Amino acid sequence: MKTLLIEGWRGVSHSIALVNQYQLLVMLGDAAWRQRWNVAHRDLPFFLKHWNAKQMPAGFTADEQARIDAVPTPADGLVPDCLLRISSPFKSVVDPAVKTLTFMVTECGLVDDCFDARPSDVGAFTRGENRIVTPSCWSRDRLLDYGIDPAGIAVVPHGVKTDVFTPLNPTDRVQGRAALGVNEDDVLFVNVGVATWNKGLDILIKAFAQVRKAHPNARLLLKDHKALYGIGADRTLAQVARENPGLVDGHVLAGISLVSGSLDQPQLRALFGVADA
């Protein structure tokens, strides 16, 4: 039986950690795969020291999180048949003796700062049986810009957990919108994500302001994740309003709602379910 060693993050709701944990659940639930592979997990330090499972839980059920957490740490001296690295910053050195898969994702382009140190041998990530896994063609193209061999990149899109994320039935949708103070004839836009600059929240707010002025029944709900980086949508909203007083006025602000804090998956499903877009 072969051994897969994963080096990454568990227990928190950072996007890379969520991808890792979802993949673990799929592996653990695949009986045929488990007949051929053992899996171990080495927990790497989080990107920021304050990250923890209590303040930013991953949102899985207790049973799912227990299964994820039960994946054992590797035995001392383990040499796996395959190593999957899925964390940030990316490790710059690849052991030539171990088949290595490296998860890489980039929104604005791959640069030296994406790594723990500037890679001395970029070709090592794709040499032999080594591969880079990335979730989109956009991200793949940014890796190519950095000089990664296209033959060594596998584009594996992220999936959807369809046992949870299904549309609300009409009654639940009406009740959910009412609980948020959204009328039946309102058009509700929902944005979920951290309020860092690269997410374009400022652009979204200014665009919504124009829509709201033309369509008074337009509403915008911003769900941030302030615990992750200490940056909330409220700060971005205040800054945009301050810099654009003629655009983001009281009428526009009255149409914007903010939700902070961690939500579990059924709560996220409900949030998506009440949205029109």
Res 10: pLDDT: 98
Same domain, 135 and 179: no
Overall domain count for the chain:
2
Dihedral angle, C-alpha 134, 277, 261, 199, nearest 10 °: 50
User: Contact at 8 Å (CB) between 12 and 69?
Assistant: no
Please give the order of strands across the beta sheet that includes 256-259: 187-192, 218-223, 256-259
**14: domain range?**
2-155
Same domain, 52 and 174: no
Please identify, among 102, 123, 155, the residue that sits at the C-terminal boundary of a domain.
155
Same domain, 18 and 141: yes
Within-domain flag for 39: yes
Within-domain flag for 163: no
**Looking at the predicted structure, is the pLDDT value of residue 227 above 90?**
no
Q: Mutual orientation of helices 265-273 and 170-179 as an angle, nearest 10°?
A: 90
Within-domain flag for 105: yes
Same domain, 98 and 43: yes
Sign of the torsion angle spanned by Cα atoms 146, 111, 232, 22: positive
**Looking at the predicted structure, is the pLDDT value of residue 229 above 90?**
no
Same domain, 60 and 175: no
Please identify, among 132, 155, 178, the residue that sits at the C-terminal boundary of a domain.
155
Same domain, 117 and 174: no
For 129, 141, 257, 259, the CA distances from 94, given in Å and listed in that order, are 12, 22, 46, 41
**Looking at the predicted structure, is the pLDDT value of residue 107 above 90?**
no
114-171 pLDDT, tens digit each? 999 999 999 999 999 999 999 999 999 999 999 999 999 999 999 999 999 999 999 9
Same domain, 188 and 123: no
Within-domain flag for 161: no
H-run or E-run covering 5? strand 2-8
Pull the structure tokens for residue 99. Answer: 């088949």
Within-domain flag for 89: yes
For 190, 232, 241, 259, the CA distances from 256, given in Å and listed in that order, are 10, 14, 12, 10
Same domain, 36 and 93: yes
Q: Mutual orientation of helices 62-69 and 15-28 as an angle, nearest 10°?
A: 90
Same domain, 25 and 141: yes
For 72, 146, 148, 193, 262, the CA distances from 17, given in Å and listed in that order, are 17, 24, 24, 15, 15
33-50 pLDDT, tens digit each? 999 999 999 999 999 999
Same domain, 206 and 83: no
Within-domain flag for 160: no
Same domain, 27 and 96: yes
Supply the CATH number for residue 217's domain: 3.40.50.2000
Neighbours of 268 (CB within 10 A): 16
Within-domain flag for 242: yes
Neighbours of 141 (CB within 10 A): 14
**Looking at the predicted structure, is the pLDDT value of residue 243 above 90?**
yes
Res 108: pLDDT: 84
Within-domain flag for 114: yes
Same domain, 211 and 84: no
Helices vs. strands in the chain: H and E counts, helices first: 10, 9
